């Protein structure tokens, strides 16, 4: 099995312009998805109308912070591996699952189950938008191979 942590250390990073575009797309798409899911939550669970976590001020700042951090992780992962997409995918899965912890906590504290379900869908939506935005809009470059001249 090939070692996936082969440390290209900067020779395989995405271009800065494409990274910025991908981050903007990820943030914008994620905000739109969360807005749509908040609307859907009220339609599916009318009792959640006015639910504080469906407010843009609440989910907006957390979405922006989370997606920007996830975006910054992409070029960092490309520092560690020439197969960064594989590693970034599994990190996205782990972070998404760990991100359910606050939702489970507020559910346990008595928040409406339907509303918490929508919040969990928001986490999934962020991953489904952010991962492809980064890896396809700002793909990892192939690491340049340096050959030693002998003689």
CA-to-CA distance for 137 and 140, rounded, in angstroms?
10
Residue 20 lies in a domain: yes
Residue 76 lies in a domain: yes
Query: What pTM does this model have?
Result: 0.88
Residue 46 lies in a domain: yes
Number of structural domains (the chain) is: 1
> What token pair was written down for 23?
């981050």
**Other C-beta atoms within 10 Å of 93: how many?**
12
Residue 69 lies in a domain: yes
Residue 96 lies in a domain: yes
Per-residue pLDDT of the chain (151 residues; tens, 9 = 90+): 345 777 777 777 899 999 999 999 999 999 999 999 999 999 999 999 999 999 999 999 999 999 999 999 999 999 998 889 999 999 999 999 999 999 999 999 999 999 999 999 999 999 999 999 999 999 998 755 454 455 4
> What token pair was written down for 36?
């749509």
CA-to-CA distance for 96 and 119, rounded, in angstroms?
12
pLDDT at 147: 42
Contacts of 15 (CB under 8 A, 6+ apart): 138, 141
Residue 32 lies in a domain: yes
Residue 50 lies in a domain: yes
Domain around 44: 16-137
Residue 126 lies in a domain: yes
């Amino acid at each position: 099995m090939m070692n996936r942590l082969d440390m290209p250390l900067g020779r395989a990073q995405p271009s800065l312009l494409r990274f910025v575009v991908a981050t903007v797309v990820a943030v914008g798409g994620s905000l739109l998805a969360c807005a749509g899911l908040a609307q859907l939550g009220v339609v599916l669970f009318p009792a959640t109308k006015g639910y504080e976590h469906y407010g843009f001020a609440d989910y907006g700042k957390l979405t922006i912070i989370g997606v920007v951090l996830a975006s910054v992780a992409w070029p960092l992962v490309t520092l560690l591996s020439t197969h960064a997409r594989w590693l970034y995918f599994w990190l996205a899965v782990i972070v998404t699952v760990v991100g359910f912890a606050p939702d489970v906590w507020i559910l346990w504290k008595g928040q409406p189950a339907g509303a918490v379900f929508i919040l969990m869908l928001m986490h999934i939506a962020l991953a489904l938008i952010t991962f492809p935005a980064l890896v396809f809009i700002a793909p990892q470059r192939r690491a340049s191979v340096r050959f030693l001249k002998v003689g």
